[in-house]
Structure 1
Amino acid sequence: MRCALPMYPFPAASLDQFWHGLFDCMQREGIADVPHQLEQPQDLLQHWQEPGLLLSQACGYPVSTLLHGQVQVVGAFHFDVPGCEQANYSSSLWVRKEDAAKPLPAFHGAVAACNERHSQSGYHALRSAVARFASDGRFFSEVLFSGAHRQSARLVAGGKADIAALDCVSAYFLSRQEPEVFSRLAAIGFTTPMPGLPLITASATPPAVLAALRRALAASIEAPGLEHARSAMRISGFSVLGEQDYRICASKAEQNLADGLADW
């Protein structure tokens, strides 16, 4: 079976400690063939579609579109960072410090940096934020695709882009890992909250195993030996969610197109 938690730049030692604790919780629930180590997949879409996927973390937009019918949603972690509430999260909007006093409409005609088109937090959340300010379906003069939130932040800090939407959990960790970059940036607001990054399992995972995964994840939130790891990873809870909770990601993207916002 295959497992990964590939979406956030967690402190490596804390992630390792948390996984070993979650491994124990999964073992106690009778889940078979749990790997001792997490994978570090390079091709996320291929990884998410693996038939032997036991547990991973994905993005809400592809779960509601490309991965529809191919995975099951297990639930979502809660994170104790600005921009999160219970199982919901948002994107923080980052600009250079000298532009921090500008309202979002003032970035009409600016250059945006996005990680990639299938990202809820870096692409679709930003589209939803600017849709009502667009003219003839356009808001930005150019959109650069960086490949990662970390790179989007660097593009803005370096002056190659003017604004980027970063997953608020990613931004929390990146701001501590790249203080020089973030010393040149300021957050000017948050996008509309959406369901947090989904924990998923393969479509073929039996219902009994899905239920056991949910119990194991809930137990990991209460396990006293994992307090330090959870604190370092900012994990504060877990909610059971289903695929229906993520349909809003696809429907909002479709609404932006229907309302006339051009593709970037």
Structure 2
Amino acid sequence: MSTPVASLGMYDHPAQHAANDRLWSALAHRLVARGIAAPRQLDRARSVEAIWRDPRLLLAQACGYPLVTDPRLALRVVGIPVYDVPDCGIGTHLSYLIGRREDAPAGLAAYRARRAAINARTSNSGHNLFRAAIAPLARDGRFFAGVVETGSHRASVAAVRDRIADIAAIDAVSYAALCRFEPAAVDGLRIVARTAASPALPFVTARSTPIETVAALRIALADMIGDPALARARDALFLKDVLPAGVERFAAVRTLEDDAIAAGYPVLQ
């Protein structure tokens, strides 16, 4: 039997590694006690995108945008997290549109013909939510003078700070981690605007995972949330709760894309 795979790489700032390892150890222990094979360690050797496509995937956290737009992504939603972060609701999050404090333009319209940074065009928080916020302001399908793709939220923050770009969309949970664990990274930046809310990043498993295992995963996640011994690890990850959910919860992510396309702004540019 092949070894299952697990990853918690979406919110895994170096200062959060120990917390994610602690939570995974607790989850794996609960799963093994139910007779379910679980890896001892999280997979940090591969990209999260590669892990999502691994048929051995037992548990990971995924972006909601490729979940509903990429038909090749064979994933099943296990649950949706609740984060103890400002502007995050019950099972929802949003992105902050950040700029340099010294620039202080008056609102999003003042960023017309300036430069934007995105982590990836396949990202909900870095691109899809950003596009939805800019769509009402675009003219003839354009708004920015240029868009740079950075590869990560942290790199997008750095691009704004270092004047490579003027504005970027940063997931609120990622921004909270930078503010807590790496405040120098956001020094001199400010929140220009907030995007619409959308479902938070789901916990997922391979679509082929047996339903009995999915049920065990949901029980293990609920036990982890209720375990006082894991309070410090949950706090390091801003994790307040995990709610059972299905892929239908993420229709709103696709609607944001559809609305931007209907407004004549299919691509952030």
State the TM-score bracket (shorter-chain normalisation).
over 0.9
Q: 2:173 aligned with 1:161, yes or no?
A: no
Q: Which residue of the other structure, out of 91, 104, 108, is the alignment partner of 1:104?
A: 108
Return the offset for 1:9.
2.7
- For the pair 1:186 / 2:187, whether they are aligned, the reply is no
| 1:23 aligned to which of 17, 22, 28 | 28
Match of 2:119 in 1: 115
- C-alpha distance in 1 between matches for 2:187 and 2:104: 13
Q: Residue 51 of structure 1 contacts residue 202 of structure 1 at CA under 8 Å; is this kept in 2?
A: yes
Quick check: 1:6–1:41 contact (8 Å CA) kept in 2? Answer: no
1-structure distance, mates of 2:155, 2:69: 25
Distance (whole Å) between structure 1 residues aligned to residue 104 and residue 245 of structure 2: 36
Counterparts of 2:47 and 2:21 in 1: how far apart (Å)? 21
Contact in 1 for aligned 2:75/2:205 (Cα 8 Å):
yes
Compare 115-124 and 5-14 and name the one that shifted more: 5-14
Matched-pair contact (CA < 8 Å) for 2:107–2:193 = no
Deviation, 1:69, is 6.2
The code of the aligned residue for 2:236 comes to: A
Q: Matched residue of 1:98: which SS?
A: coil
Q: What's the CA shift for 1:43?
A: 2.9
Deviation at 1:176, TM superposition (A): 3.2
Q: Aligned equivalents of 1:164 and 1:12: distance in 2?
A: 25
Tell me the distance in 2 between the aligned counterparts of 1:69 and 1:6.
Answer: 17
Match of 2:84 among 76, 80, 86: 80
Three-state SS of the structure 2 residue aligned to 1:99 is coil
Q: Could you tell me how far 1:262 is from its partner in structure 2?
A: 4.3
Identity %: 37
Amino acid in structure 2 at the alignment position of 1:21 = A
Q: Which consecutive unaligned segments of at least 5 residues does structure 1 have?
A: none
Aligned residue for 1:214? Answer: 218
Q: How many residues align?
A: 263
Structure 1 residues 31 and 89, CA gap change in structure 2 (3 angstroms):
farther
Letter in 2 for 1:157: R
Q: Alignment RMSD, CA only? A: 1.5
Q: Structure 1 residue 68: deviation in Å?
A: 6.0
Q: How does 1:55-66 map to 2 (within 5 A)?
A: 55-66=59-70
Q: Secondary structure at the match of 2:38?
A: coil
For 2:94, the equivalent position in structure 1 comes to 90
AA aligned opposite 1:16: D
With the length of structure 1 as denominator, give the TM-score of the two structures.
Answer: 0.95
2:221 and 2:125 map into 1 onto residues whose CA distance is 24
Write out the 4+ residue segments of structure 1 that deviate beyond 4 Å after TM superposition. Answer: none
> Contact 1:31–1:212 (CA<8 Å) still a contact in 2?
no
In the TM superposition, residue 42 of structure 1 has moved relative to its aligned partner by 2.7
Instruction: Please state how far the C-alpha of 1:248 moved relative to its aligned partner.
Output: 1.9
**CA deviation digits over 1:37-95, x for unaligned, max 9?**
11114333221011111100110000111156611011121111112111100001110
